[in-house]
A and B are shown apart, each in its own frame.
Chain A
């Protein structure tokens, strides 16, 4: 799946996400939303620094950090690692953290699982090829 398309899907699904950035294993920006914005650049830098700082925390000793959430009065920052990539997002105030984390994980999984460009999530009416088989 195209990283830009994956992020577009993510922001379409999750109205709580304001900015999102997708990083490769080395920290390079694969895609961001809004694309190429200053906010996305700041988020990419912050995501890397957050992961590094969180790993150094005594509570992280001996454990592999996969996700983090920093909740502030003005909004939250989420960082999720997986499938050889990192995704970070900023959200509105007091988001539904579980839902945001789920959407971020799903975005990473969709990138890993679907090498071909996905079909857009548009609802189309199915017309049965064989009306008898469809019970008409």
Chain B
């Protein structure tokens, strides 16, 4: 019984750890327009680095 509890705890910790490390926080920019449309700029999009640098100055 004790082994089962230990195994369950280990499995839970592994799941939490995997989730945490497999999805690191990413920089993201979202632009919203008057017509109701929006665009999400992910890594690699041309103006992303500039916008991120500007935002970082404000934080």
Q: How far is the CA of A63 from the CA of B34 in the complex (A)?
A: 7
Is A43 part of the contact surface with B, judged by Cβ < 8 Å? yes
Question: Which residue of B34, B39, B54 contacts A53 across the interface (Cβ within 8 Å)?
Answer: B54
Query: Once bound together, how far apart are the Cα atoms of A59 and B35, in whole Å?
Result: 13
Give the dominant DSSP class at B's interface: mixed
CA distance A129 to B33 in the complex (A): 49
Q: Which residues of A contact B28 (CB under 8 A)?
A: 69-71
Q: Are A42 and B57 in contact (CB under 8 A)?
A: yes
Q: Which residues of A contact B27 (CB under 8 A)?
A: 70-73
| Residue of B whose beta carbon sits closest to that of A44 | B58
Distance of B56 from chain A, by nearest CB (Å):
6
Contact check: which of B25, B30, B50, B58 meets A90 at CB < 8 Å?
B58
Contact call A63/B37, Cβ cutoff below 8 A: yes
Separation in Å of the A77 CB from the closest CB of chain B?
A: 4
Q: Which of B34-54 contact A (CB under 8 A)?
A: 34-35, 37, 39, 41, 45-47, 50-52, 54
Which residue on A lies nearest to B29, using beta carbons?
A70
| Residues of B in contact, count (CB < 8 Å) | 25
Report how far A56 CA is from B51 CA in the complex, Å.
11
A70 touches B39 (CB 8 A): no
Minimum CB–CB distance for B23 against chain A, Å: 12
Query: A101 CA to B25 CA in the complex, in Å?
Result: 21
C-alpha spacing A42/B18, complex, angstroms: 37
Chain A hits for B45, CB < 8 A = 57, 59
In the assembled complex, which residues on chain A have CB atoms less than 8 Å from the CB atom of B29? 54, 68-71
Most buried by A among B25, B30, B56: B30
- With an 8 A cutoff between CB atoms, is A47 at the interface? yes
Assuming the contacts A54-B51, A73-B25, asked whether A88 and B58 have C-beta atoms less than 8 A apart, the reply is: yes
